[in-house]
């Protein structure tokens, strides 16, 4: 057990499950046809793709023809945002998003901003929630799109999508949500939740990389962002990634079969680790607790030490995690999500994300927690960060967390 890798980076990606691989395999060698071909092999491939489309759309409360397969959730976000902008009338040049989006939403929107669109970046509260009154106030007659992430990739905040969707529907504004982290973890029904556009992918739910999807509600018009042949209802050119699509559907089907049981299990794993780690002095949990948090995510700040050093030491001890520290990023700035919920830069630098799948166990959290304690003690024993000199906030684990809660 000690020697086996403890993989707590499932918000990054997940391993494929055997039944998913088994479902995909024939489509690499035997049923390798191009769905566009008119002969038998092509027809078989087309049928398999249609079946997969029906499976996934059924799981989110959509019709098959409302689901467009893409190469990733990133591509789905780009198609939703850039496609809606290209289709918007010249009078509607305003869009709204939040400050805690993933780069796959931030960057297409920043491109639009450079091209002359006006953007409102909504603040979030200390737990990462968008205030629906803020959204209501931000909508103007020029607004054509609102894009708010469903489950946040760093701090696990799950937005009240229906409340936000309702505001947009009433105002006649398109509503897009990036559901890459939340899909198959927390319920989402695009019809009931009043969503117009939603992005998904397969590799966060034990499916393959390189396949995603965009839900486009019937009657919503986007302009495609790539030119080519008329695949995917003439919205996304390029020969379909048939094995990927089959793997996506297989993974989604498996995930939904045991969704409530798996969610409860992952929540228990998550909460068990959170409780153990908050016993360490000078720590805080970033993001909400309970069912308003992704069952897959725990994000903890270890004060006075730096995230990359924690991550590297844990990696050497067989625990895989990720960090919101500047030093683990390409550009030396701390995560926009952590600073947006009010963390000081030094606290963002000391944050570690532990993220789970249904394959993780309580036993693993016990082993990992011991290793985290060891690493935190080691790094704190040599830190140059003198709390009395460099920081005003004091307190220990749980106490510190409660103090923050009271401030809310």
Contacts with another protein, residue ranges (CB under 8 A): 99, 106, 110, 113-114, 119, 121, 304-309, 312-313, 316, 325-334, 336, 339-340, 342, 344-346, 349, 382-385, 390-391
Q: Give me the helix-helix angle, 40-59 and 242-257, nearest 10°.
A: 30
Q: Which is nearer to another protein, 116 or 219 (CB)?
A: 116
Measured between alpha carbons, how far is 276 from 286 in angstroms, rounded to an integer? 15
Structure tokens at 345: 């830069």
What lies within 8 Å, CB to CB, of 229 at 6+ separation is 36, 237, 238
Structure tokens at 302: 């270890």
Residues annotated as catalytic (active site), given as ranges: 327
Closest CB 124 distance from another protein, rounded Å: 11
**Residue 267 β-bridge partners:** none
Closest CB 348 distance from another protein, rounded Å: 8
Strand order in the sheet with 174-178: 67-70, 212-216, 197-201, 174-178, 143-147, 94-98, 118-122
382: buried, middle or exposed (CB in 10 Å: 19+, 13-18, 0-12)? exposed
Helix H or strand E encompassing 402 = helix 397-407
Q: Which is nearer to another protein, 155 or 190 (CB)?
A: 155
Measured between alpha carbons, how far is 270 from 399 in angstroms, rounded to an integer? 20
Start-to-end CA span in the chain (Å): 42
Closest CB 287 distance from another protein, rounded Å: 17
Q: Which is nearer to another protein, 1 or 382 (CB)?
A: 382
Q: Which is nearer to another protein, 34 or 391 (CB)?
A: 391
Closest CB 250 distance from another protein, rounded Å: 29
The DSSP call for residue 170 is H
Closest CB 161 distance from another protein, rounded Å: 23
Q: Which residues of 208-222 are buried (b: 16+ CB within 10 A; e: fewer)?
A: bbbbbbbbbbeebeb
Q: Which is nearer to another protein, 38 or 332 (CB)?
A: 332
What lies within 8 Å, CB to CB, of 103 at 6+ separation is none
Closest CB 307 distance from another protein, rounded Å: 8
Q: Which is nearer to another protein, 272 or 353 (CB)?
A: 353
Measured between alpha carbons, how far is 65 from 42 in angstroms, rounded to an integer? 19
């Amino acid at each position: 057990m000690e020697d086996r890798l403890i993989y707590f980076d499932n918000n990054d990606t997940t391993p494929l499950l055997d039944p998913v691989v088994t479902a995909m395999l024939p489509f690499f060698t035997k049923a390798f046809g191009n769905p566009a071909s008119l002969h038998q092999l092509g027809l078989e491939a087309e049928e398999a793709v249609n079946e997969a489309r029906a499976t996934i759309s059924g799981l989110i409360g959509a019709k098959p023809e409302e689901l467009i397969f893409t190469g990733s959730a990133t591509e789905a976000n780009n198609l939703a945002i850039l496609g809606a902008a290209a289709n918007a009338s010249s009078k509607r040049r305003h869009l709204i998003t939040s400050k805690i989006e993933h780069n796959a939403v931030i960057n297409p929107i920043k491109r639009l901003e450079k091209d002359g669109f006006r953007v409102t970046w909504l603040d979030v509260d200390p737990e990462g929630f968008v205030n629906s009154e803020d959204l209501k106030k931000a909508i103007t007659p020029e607004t054509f799109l609102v894009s708010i992430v469903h489950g946040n990739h760093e701090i696990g905040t799950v937005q009240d999508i229906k409340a936000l969707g309702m505001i947009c529907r009433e105002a006649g504004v398109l509503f897009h949500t990036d559901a890459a982290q939340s899909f198959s973890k927390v319920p989402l029904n695009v019809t009931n939740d009043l969503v117009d556009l939603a992005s998904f992918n397969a590799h966060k739910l034990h499916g393959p990389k390189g396949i995603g999807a965009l839900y486009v509600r019937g009657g919503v018009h986007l302009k495609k962002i790539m030119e080519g042949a008329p695949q995917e209802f003439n919205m996304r050119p390029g020969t379909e990634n048939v094995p990927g699509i089959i793997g996506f559907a297989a993974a989604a089907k498996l995930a939904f079969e045991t969704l409530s049981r798996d969610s409860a299990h992952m929540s228990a794993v998550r909460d068990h680790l959170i409780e153990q780690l908050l016993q360490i002095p000078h720590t805080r949990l970033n993001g909400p607790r309970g069912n308003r948090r992704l069952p897959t995510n725990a994000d903890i700040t270890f004060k006075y030490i730096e995230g990359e050093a924690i991550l590297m030491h844990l990696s050497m001890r067989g625990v895989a995690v990720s960090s919101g520290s500047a030093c683990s990023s390409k550009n030396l700035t701390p995560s926009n999500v952590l600073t947006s919920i009010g963390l000081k830069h030094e606290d963002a630098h000391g944050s570690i994300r532990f993220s789970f799948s249904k394959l993780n166990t309580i036993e693993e959290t016990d082993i990992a927690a011991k290793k985290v304690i060891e690493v935190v003690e080691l790094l704190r024993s040599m830190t140059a960060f003198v709390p009395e000199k460099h920081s005003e906030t004091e307190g220990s684990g749980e106490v510190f967390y409660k103090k923050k809660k009271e401030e809310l």
